[in-house]
Structures are given as C-alpha cells and as structure tokens.
C-alpha cells in the first residue's frame, strides 16, 4: 500500500468533540440545547440505520433529537404539515428529512417547506442556489459533500488549482460536491452515465470524489499516481466469510487503487462517519443562527 489512509472515523470524532464542547459551553451560558428533528418516511432499512446513527450522535454530543417516523403511504400534505409544525417549534433547531422519499411524494416541495434557518441538510433550493452562485453564502452546506472537503483539508490535500473529478451528479452528493470544489478553486469535471472514456478523464484528476453508486467502479489503472481519492459509495458485496453474509465496499476498487493513489478513504470508516459529524456541526450552527 502506497497511499496514506484518510481516517474518516478519527477526523469525524474530532469534529464531534469540538461540537460537544461548544454545546456544553452554550448550555453552561444558559442557552438551549441544540435540537434536531429527524423525519423518516417509510421503512428503508439503510435509511432507518442512518437516522438511528444521527439520533445517537445527538445524544452523545449533548443535543436533543426528536424522531418522526411516518408510514410509507403518508400523503404529501401529511409530510408537509409535519415539516411546518417543526418549523414553528422553537425546540427544533434543525430539520432533517431523510432522502430518498417514497416515489409518490414530491421531494422538491417537501424540501421547499423547510425553514431555511433550520435546513441542516442544505437541500432547500435557496441554500443550494446560494451554493451555486459567486459571492453568496448558503446558511448550510450539504453534509456529505461538506465532509468530503473537510477530509481533504484535514489530510493536507491542496484543493486550489487541482484538477478534481466528481463521479456522479446526484442532488445529495455529486452536484453539491462539484459546486463546493469550484468554491475551493479547483478545476472541476463531473462524470456521469453519458460521459465518454471515463478512465481517461479520471486519469487527469488530482482529486477524485466517487459517488456514482457502482461497486468498485474506479480501477487502479484509472488513477493518477499520488491522487487523493474520496470514496462516497456504500455497496453490499456478498462475502461468505462474514456473519452477515456480506461486507461493505465503496465505488472504488480499494485494493487496486491504494497501490497508486497518494491518499484514499476506506469504506466503511471514511466518508460515512463524516456525514453524521457535519450534520451535528450544522445543527449546532442552526441553534446559533436562531439565537440571534
Ligand atoms: N444528511 N444524509 C443526509 N441526508 C440525507 O437525505 N440520505 C441522506 C443522508 N445520507 C446518509 O445519512 N448517509 C450515511 C451513509 C453512511 C453512514 C452514515 C450516513 C455511515 O456512517 N456509514 C458507516 C457504515 C455504517 C454501516 O455499517 O452500515 C461507514 O463507516 O461508512
């Protein structure tokens, strides 16, 4: 292995320690505990796991969490009414609607209903719009892309002037990651399903953010020697040697790429824990914004 391993778990813990200290200082100063409302519509097993991890992180950091599970056949009106109640509740500083929503719901309308000062996921069109425009500041940056940039900075990877390639153009990761990299003065290419000659495009990258949802997609011979590789993918690979019968792998072929890259994040223990840490940071920020 030639690449330096980027320890997402340790870097996330440092972020969470800082948040916990700031929360304790707030409470000691007589201010409220930051509160996060989580909304989970339906029974997706992965979403339920992630939401549980978010509630646990709140408890660990001295913050409140309020969980609102809704049945998968909830109507648009029911979901939006819940969001509006949470907007009006002063004990709720942040509102997280776990995506994806069931297909019959209009995601855009739900996200638009969230008060922008409580939009800790940063998906409200005003926050995303500000992220996309020069000289504008979003109130919150989407957690997973924010975590990716934090991992690069903590590892000492220079973003300014770098050629960055983002694999995937989702609303949750790829597109906001590309926007953030532009703000950090990288030169950014977004690769997607219609991109021609993907290996050649990836070979030019000093920084790769892989969020394409295809197991072990990025191969060792696609990677420029010394490049920084951030693997956002979470895929279950059948593995008879594991109790669960599978193991988690990313969108990067770790065993091949670690021999070529300069820096690489593992899966698990890379970007995943950062998503939660940045959500906690955003929830603290929401409380601070709402103090004023
Ligand atoms: N903020 N995050 C936000 N909003 C959403 O709408 N869908 C979504 C979202 N996604 C999300 O929470 N993803 C996520 C993914 C992985 C982890 C946490 C959150 C994580 O910690 N993963 C662990 C492995 C967990 C496991 O064993 O299943 C890891 O180390 O990668």
Q: pLDDT tens across 183-227, in order?
A: 999 999 999 999 999 999 999 999 999 999 999 999 999 999 999
* Structure confidence at residue 90 (pLDDT): 97
Residue 21: inside a domain: no
Is 23 inside a domain boundary?
no
Q: Which of 87, 120, 153 is the last residue of a domain?
A: 120
Please check whether residues 50 and 154 belong to one and the same domain. Answer: no
What is the CATH classification number for the domain harbouring 238?
3.40.50.720
In the reported structure, the alpha carbon of residue 147 is separated from the centroid of ligand 1 by a whole-number distance in angstroms of 11
pLDDT tens column, 132-189: 999 999 999 999 999 999 999 999 999 999 999 999 999 999 999 999 999 999 999 9
Q: Is 48 in the pocket of ligand 1 (CB under 6 A)?
A: no
Nearest-atom index, ligand 1, CA of 9: 30
- Residue 119's pLDDT is 98
- How confident is the model at residue 157, as a pLDDT? 98
Identify whether residues 78 and 198 lie together within a single domain.
no
Same domain? 92 vs 151: no
**Domain that includes residue 46, residue range:** 33-120
Q: What is the pLDDT of residues 50-75, one digit of tens each?
A: 999 999 999 999 999 999 999 999 99
pTM over 0.85: yes
Identify the CATH number of the domain in which residue 97 sits. 3.40.50.10860
Q: What is the DSSP letter of 29?
A: T
Average pLDDT, the chain: 98
What pLDDT, on the 0 to 100 scale, is given for residue 1?
74
Active site members: 54, 98, 121
Total number of domains in the chain:
2
Q: How confident is the model at residue 7 (pLDDT cuts 50, 70, 90)?
A: very high
**Greatest CA separation found in the chain?**
58
CA-closest candidate to residue 271, choices 3, 12, 4 = 12
- What is the Å distance from ligand 1's center to 276 Cα? 7
Residue nearest to atom 23 of ligand 1 (CA): 272
Q: How many whole angstroms from 184 Cα to the centroid of ligand 1?
A: 24
- Residue 230 in any domain: the answer is yes
* Category of 78 on φ-ψ map: left (φ > 0), alpha (ψ -120 to 50) or beta: alpha
Q: Residue 31 and residue 34: Cα distance in Å, rounded?
A: 9
Q: Is residue 290 part of a domain?
A: no
Q: Ligand 1 in contact with 279 (CB < 6 A)?
A: yes
């Amino acid at each position: 292995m030639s690449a330096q391993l980027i320890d997402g778990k340790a870097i996330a813990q440092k972020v969470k320690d800082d948040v916990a200290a700031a929360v304790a200082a707030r409470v000691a100063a007589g201010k409220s505990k930051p509160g996060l409302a989580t909304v989970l519509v339906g029974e997706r097993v992965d979403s339920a796991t992630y939401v549980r991890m978010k509630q646990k992180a709140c408890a660990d950091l001295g913050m409140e969490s309020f969980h609102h599970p809704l049945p998968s056949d909830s109507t648009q009106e029911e979901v939006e009414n819940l969001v509006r109640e949470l907007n009006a509740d002063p004990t709720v500083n942040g509102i997280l609607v776990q995506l994806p929503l069931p297909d019959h719901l209009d995601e855009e309308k739900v996200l638009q209903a969230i008060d922008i000062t409580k939009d800790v996921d940063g998906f409200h069109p005003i926050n995303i719009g500000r992220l996309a425009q020069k000289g504008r500041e979003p109130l919150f940056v989407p957690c997973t892309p924010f975590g990716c940039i934090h991992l690069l900075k903590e590892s000492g990877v220079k973003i300014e002037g770098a050629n960055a390639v983002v694999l995937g153009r989702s609303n949750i990761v790829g597109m906001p990651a590309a926007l953030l990299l532009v703000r950090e003065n990288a030169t950014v290419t977004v690769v997607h399903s219609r991109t021609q000659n993907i290996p050649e495009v990836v070979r030019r990258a000093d920084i790769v953010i892989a969020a394409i949802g295809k197991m072990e997609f990025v191969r060792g011979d696609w990677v420029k020697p010394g490049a920084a590789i951030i693997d956002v993918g979470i895929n279950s690979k059948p593995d008879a040697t594991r109790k669960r019968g599978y193991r988690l792998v990313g969108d990067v072929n770790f065993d091949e790429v670690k021999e070529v890259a300069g820096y690489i994040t593992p899966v698990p223990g890379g970007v995943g824990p950062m998503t939660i840490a940045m959500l906690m940071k955003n929830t603290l920020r929401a409380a601070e914004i709402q103090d004023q």
